[in-house]
Amino acid sequence: MNEILWKNILEEIKLSVSIANFQTLFTGTQLVSLESSIATIGCPSGYIKNMIEDRFYSLLKNIIDHQTKSNVSLVFIIKPVPAPKTENGPLFSQATNDIPSKNDHRLRSDFTFESLAVSGSNQLPYAAATAVAKKPGSTYNPLFIWGGVGVGKTHLMQAIGNEILKKNPSIKVLFCPGEEFTNEIIEAIKNKNTEQFRKKFRSIKVLLLDDIQFIAGKVTVQEEFFHTFNAIQRMGGQIVMTSDRPPEEIAKLEERLRSRFEAGLIVDVPPPDFELRTAILLIKARQQKIDLKMDLAQLIAANIESNRKMEGFLTRMITESETKNIPLSVEMVNTLLGKALAEKELSHKAIKPKTVIDVVADYYHLKTAQIKGQTRVKEIVLPRQVIMYLLKIELNLPLMEIGNILGGRDHTTIMHGVEKIVNQLREDEDLRVHISGIKQRLSVKVE
């Protein structure tokens, strides 16, 4: 039971922290016990324990309280997981600063090109990444991948490392979050072992640096990375970096670094389109040995645009199915979608039904009276059904209440309208764009 609870907790954490922080700090943790409102959290090392306690105590407590519906106190202990987790540990262990072995690459085994969904929206970065994996050090060096949160940058970067290792297991590959690179420099300076630090990083053949924007504004860190960058390139090594923005938009980044980043190939990973989101869901479900039907995957992908939120929703859905022993169905997904979208996107925004009606009417150049009226002209019926959908899915209002708001309509009419939009969203790209635009307008109308 603790394992299922911790899995759900980790999924919530994943939505609240960067992928670098999640992989570095939380993937090796475990819920050792939960007794008498005291949660004992096992951490793989003292370093991880201190980092979580200092920086994420409040976040972790809030999530555990939410999951357990109680007021829980947290206790942290050092307790490595039974299986080796060195690939997700700190760059230097507590005991030694040895140069990493060929197996100490810190890559996730599931982040491969085979497990990466590809469509038109991410075809270019995928092509660039596979080209680098085929000829590291000679093709697109450095490769700079940028994009928003949860679009797959880290997966793409680690897939390069895994593909290179598959062909040559002896090559030195290292995945390193920018924050950890910074922390290790600070530790090296404090412990007077900067030479060991330099030997470690400058001997790397393929350096994968995640969230490079984190080093901006830190003079010593940028100085060290500048020399590390040059040393690796001189030896014919490959450098791959990810960032949440392109080099020219990273504030306080030294010009000499910016120049080097721009000397290679810069590619952006746009948010996944509907088809790609659907493919990602099907892949994630298959990895968990779940037979997710296409219509369910499309329904979820039409309503949730963030990769991480989709993964969290998938975990929630599977847990709901297993704990309540009910099959995955459209009804179940719609019920959870109403809860998930209301809780995670709009619960803190106090959007009123009148605001939804006004925004949709304005978007379609209609009057509120036309929306609430009885006319069944197509140009009015669709916006009216969009309002039904938004009031149900986004605000999670009861069907009867929505009917009353829209001129005293029967709850079965509202149900039909919501289902009509849900089904149409699976196939109609234009409708998805319109609803996305309406949501953006709603976000600035919050009172």
270 or 430: which leads in pLDDT: 270
Q: Is the dihedral of CA 367, 373, 378, 384 positive or negative?
A: positive
Residue 92 has pLDDT above 70, yes or no: no
Q: Averaged over 76-98, what is the pLDDT? A: 49
Which residues partner with 40 through β-bridges? 33, 75
What pLDDT is recorded for position 159? 95
261 and 278 within one domain: no
Band of residue 256 on the pLDDT scale cut at 50, 70, 90: very high
172 and 43 within one domain: no
What pLDDT is recorded for position 23? 77
What pLDDT is recorded for position 383? 94
Neighbours of 444 (CB within 10 A): 7
235 and 293 within one domain: no
Q: Is the dihedral of CA 24, 28, 34, 39 positive or negative?
A: negative
What pLDDT is recorded for position 339? 57
Phi, psi of 356 (to 5 degrees): -60, -45
> CA dist 158 to 73, 162, 197, 239, 278, Å?
36, 6, 22, 12, 22
114 and 254 within one domain: yes
What residue type is 194 in one-letter code? T
Residue 255 has pLDDT above 60, yes or no: yes
What pLDDT is recorded for position 314? 87
Which of 49, 84, 119 is a domain's end point? 84
- Indicate the pTM of the whole model: 0.56
pLDDT 10s digits, 371-423:
998 888 888 999 999 999 998 887 878 888 999 999 889 888 998 898 888 88
Q: Are 136 and 205 in contact (CB under 8 A)?
A: yes
Q: Are 153 and 144 in contact (CB under 8 A)?
A: no
What pLDDT is recorded for position 87? 37
What pLDDT is recorded for position 121? 75
Q: CA torsion 93→95→99→104, rounded to 10°?
A: -40
Q: Are 52 and 25 in contact (CB under 8 A)?
A: yes
**CATH at 227:** 3.40.50.300
Q: Averaged over 264-280, what is the pLDDT? A: 87
235 and 160 within one domain: yes
Q: Averaged over 259-272, what is the pLDDT? A: 90
Residue 431 has pLDDT above 80, yes or no: yes
What pLDDT is recorded for position 378? 84
Most confident of 126-140, 277-291, 295-309: 126-140
Pick from 151, 145, 177: nearest CA to 308: 151
What residue type is 392 in one-letter code? K
Residue 98 has pLDDT above 50, yes or no: no
Residue 15 has pLDDT above 80, yes or no: no
The rounded percent of the chain whose pLDDT value lies above 70 is: 89
Residue 348 has pLDDT above 50, yes or no: no
Which of 59, 84, 109 is a domain's end point? 84
What pLDDT is recorded for position 82? 61
Q: Averaged over 355-363, what is the pLDDT? A: 90
What pLDDT is recorded for position 238? 96
426 and 316 within one domain: no
Residue 435 is encoded by which pair of tokens? 């609803």
Alpha helices in 305-352 (DSSP H): 307-324, 330-341
What pLDDT is recorded for position 136? 94
How is residue 306 annotated by DSSP?
-
Q: CA torsion 75→80→85→91, rounded to 10°?
A: 70
113 and 194 within one domain: yes
Q: Averaged over 281-297, what is the pLDDT? A: 87
What pLDDT is recorded for position 444? 60
Residue 320 has pLDDT above 90, yes or no: no
Which of 227, 250, 269 is a domain's end point? 269
Domain that holds residue 52: 2-84
109 and 45 within one domain: no
Length of the chain: 447
Lowest mean pLDDT among 130-139, 272-281, 351-360: 272-281
173 or 319: which leads in pLDDT: 173
In order, the DSSP letters of 344-359 are: IIITTT---HHHHHHH
196 and 111 within one domain: yes
The rounded percent of the chain whose pLDDT value lies above 90 is: 28
250 and 178 within one domain: yes
What pLDDT is recorded for position 380? 92
Q: Are 263 and 142 in contact (CB under 8 A)?
A: yes
Number of domains in the chain: 4
Phi, psi of 264 (to 5 degrees): -95, -140
**CATH at 20:** 3.30.300.180
pLDDT 10s digits, 41-71:
998 877 788 788 877 887 888 888 888 888 8
53 and 21 within one domain: yes
3-class DSSP assignment, residue 230? helix
200 and 161 within one domain: yes
Q: Averaged over 75-79, what is the pLDDT? A: 86
Pick from 114, 191, 194: nearest CA to 159: 114
Residues 330, 331, 336, CA angle at the centre, nearest 5°? 95
Q: Are strands 206-210 and 173-177 parallel, antiparallel or unpaired?
A: parallel
**CATH at 419:** 1.10.1750.10
Report the phi/psi class of residue 159: left, alpha or beta, with left for phi > 0 and alpha for psi in -120 to 50.
Answer: alpha
What pLDDT is recorded for position 180? 85
What pLDDT is recorded for position 102? 45
434 or 426: which leads in pLDDT: 434
What pLDDT is recorded for position 89? 34
